[in-house]
Amino acid sequence: MSTVRGYFHPKTATGSSSLIPAPPWQYSGDLLTVEYRTDPERVRELLPEPLELADEDPGAVALIWADWQSCSASQEELLDPVRAQYKEAFVVVRCSYRGRTYSRCVYIWVDKDFAIARGLHQGYPKKLGSIHQTRPHPYGPAPRVAAGARFGATLAAADRRLAEATFTLREESATNGFVNGHPMIHHRWLPSIEKGKGLALDELVETGGASFEAGPAWAADAELTLFDAPTEELSRLEIREPIGAYFRQVGVTWDGGRLLESGTSGAE
C-alpha cells in the first residue's frame, strides 16, 4: 500500500507537489484600507447563523488591498518568488457571536492558486481576481511613505472592474482602522458528495495572527468607487458614509485556529 504525503492536494509519494505547505504561514505586505458605512441590513444578510450584527456601528465595512510576500517556516518560497508573491483585495465587516465582537471576511479576491487553497483551509471565501496597487519606493517617481504620497488601487474579476480607489497620505495615525481589528470568525463549508445530504464539513472557526509587527500607520484621504457586475455582489455594500482610510506595512504569522461550533450554520 502506497503512502501519499502533502498538506493539501495533490498528495504524492514525496509531498513536494502539494499546493500549500503546512503552517505556520508568514506574510509581509503593504496594506491600503478604506472604511465606510453601509446599510446594516446589507451586512446582516451576509451573516449566517449563529452570527449577529455587531452592537456598535453595525454597518461599518473595510475594503482592503494587500500586496503580499508569503512563505512557510523554511522561508524557501522567498527565493522562488512565484511561490511567494500575490495580491488580494478583501471586504471585512464586524459581527457578534455569544456577546463578543469579531471581524469577518465576506468577500475576497486573490491572484494565485496557492492563496485560494489557504483560504479554503481557513474559511476565507476566496475567488480569483485581478488586483493592483501602487507600490512605495524610496527612489524615482514611485511614492514615498510620507505625507502627500498618492496611491491607487483597483480590483476586477471575470473581466469586470469591481472597485477602484485613490489614497493621499496625510499624517501618521494611532490606528489602522477598527473594522479589521478583531479575531476573525469564519465558516469552513464543504458540500457532501451525495446529493441531498447537505454539508460534509460545517465548522465555525476563530482565527488570528500568531504574531504581528508593523510600521507606522498613515491616515489618508481616499476616494472609493464600487461597480456592479453580473456575478459579484460587492456593490450591494453601497457607500453611505466614509469613515477613514489608511496605509500600513505589516508582518503577520498565521498558525492555525480554534473550532467554535460544528454543524449549526444552517447554510444551503
Query: Which spans in the chain are helix H?
Result: 40-44, 113-122
In this prediction, residues 165-180 reach a mean pLDDT of 98
| Mean pLDDT, the chain, integer | 97
The predicted structure's pLDDT at residue 265: 74
Extended strands (E) in the chain: 25-37, 52-53, 60-71, 85-97, 100-110, 126-128, 130-133, 150-157, 160-173, 184-191, 199-214, 217-226, 241-262
Tell me the torsion sign for CA atoms 133, 250, 86, 235.
Answer: negative
Pairing of strands 150-157, 160-173: antiparallel
Pairing of strands 130-133, 150-157: antiparallel
20 Cα distance to chain centroid: 17
Res. 189 pLDDT band, cuts 50 70 90: very high
The predicted structure's pLDDT at residue 127: 98
For 234-254, how does the pLDDT look when each residue is reduced to its tens digit (9 = 90+)? 999 999 999 999 999 999 999
Statement: residue 134 has pLDDT above 80: yes
Res. 21 pLDDT band, cuts 50 70 90: very high
Query: Is pLDDT larger for residue 110 or for residue 267?
Result: 110
Statement: residue 264 has pLDDT above 80: no
For 23-78, how does the pLDDT look when each residue is reduced to its tens digit (9 = 90+)? 999 999 999 999 999 999 999 999 999 999 999 999 999 999 999 999 999 999 99
The predicted structure's pLDDT at residue 1: 76
**pLDDT more than 70, % of the chain:** 100
Give the SS3 label for residue 126: strand
Q: What separation in angstroms does the CA of 220 have from each of 2, 32, 231, 244?
A: 56, 9, 31, 7
Statement: residue 10 has pLDDT above 70: yes
- The single-letter code of the amino acid at 154 is T
**Global pTM?**
0.96
